[in-house]
Amino acid sequence: MLSKRLKRHMPSVDKVREVKAFGLIGAALFHPGLWHLNRRSAADGFAVGPFCGLTPGPLQMISAGIVALFFRVKLPVALPTTLYTNPLTIVPLYFAAYKIGPFALGATTGTGPEPPPDWVGTQPVASAEALGQWMIGLGAPLALGLCLLTGLLALCGYIIVRLVGSIHLLWAWAARRKRRASVRA
């Protein structure tokens, strides 16, 4: 029932085949595992989207598409689930990743990252060098934090979709038993 509702809003393989630009990717795009909807494939696709959602720049959907093609998970689920990152959420997510990184490394940090150095217009080379050093200082904690945060978001997305699917299935079974009991009575 839930899958029938989702299938109504997703493109079919035949519709995707009609787009000539997708023909450049080849037959891998039309593998049945990418388009067949079931609880596991939807959960796998929902895990790929949040995992690739923190990819820098406009590469979230591209990376989600590549990962979905490689692991043959639900492509129409993986692509839109990357959209949790937007101009309003990206700064808090990266700040959370920066806080998770030092915690995982066992380092203690103050209230947050150091503020970036001031840009001195008369000394652009020295200012750029200071900014570069500041960014390198963020590197290891931020990189580890991003990896851990994307893994956590992917795991949570997978578990939530599997739980919702299982609860929906149990509800459908109970409704079917109730209908059968009322027919017998």
Structure confidence by residue, pLDDT tens digits, 103-150: 888 776 555 567 667 777 777 788 778 777 777 777 778 888 889 999
Spatial contact of 30 and 16, defined as CB atoms under 8 Å apart: yes
- Whole domain around residue 66: which residue ranges? 2-184
Task: Estimate the crossing angle of helix 90-105 against helix 124-184, to 10 degrees.
Answer: 100
* Residues 35-54: tens digit of each pLDDT: 667 777 788 888 998 999 88
Q: How many domains does the chain have?
A: 1
- pTM for the predicted model, two decimal places: 0.69
Cβ atoms within 10 Å of 162's Cβ, excluding its own = 17
